[in-house]
Amino acid sequence: MNHNNQAVSFGELWSIQESLLQAYRSIFITLESAIIVVSSIFLASASPKAYIVLPIIFLGLGLIPIWMGVCHARARAVAFIHWLMQRHEAGETIANPYSHFRQFQHNRRYQDIDVEKDSHFISLSTSVTRKRMDVHLPMTFALTLFALGGMAMVSLLA
């Protein structure tokens, strides 16, 4: 395969997308953690300030669907690149993987294949670790924020 006319190789493309996915996860985990810490500090004070804590908690809850959407889209991109690499290793000639990647981002297709219905793609995009990082972890943060919100509401009534 001639790599001279390719903008990036499979490895470079995968590395870029995987790095972006990890960076996005890190940003959201750090942000949600900071929101929980700040909310906890305000609630643990001698006179909890629910009027300060509740907007912070709502911000944290509002960020969770954004987190899940951004990370899901980037995880799909990583899975697509893995899927392309598997096809390449199976003997399919895939020139210009970046162009195929951009096509997939635009219309979820690779040539005439609806990629998201392909069993190999589905298995790549539904791993246990991915589900834990992209569904269970955000939901754990949401439950923690709901608990803190409940505590803030109780402090209003006290």
Whole-number pLDDT of residue 6: 65
Six-digit token pair at 52?
A: 């300060």
Does the pLDDT value for residue 96 go beyond 90? no
- Mean local confidence (pLDDT), 87-91: 91
pTM: 0.84
Whole-number pLDDT of residue 157: 86
* 149: CB partners within 8 A, 6+ apart: 53, 54, 57, 58, 61
Give tens-digit pLDDT for 123-152.
Answer: 988 888 888 999 999 999 999 999 999 999
- Give me the chain's average pLDDT, please: 89
Whole-number pLDDT of residue 7: 65
Whole-number pLDDT of residue 2: 47
Does the pLDDT value for residue 4 go beyond 90? no
In whole angstroms, what is the distance from residue 141 CA to residue 144 CA? 5
The pair phi, psi for residue 110, each rounded to 5°, is -130, 115
Does the pLDDT value for residue 69 go beyond 70? yes
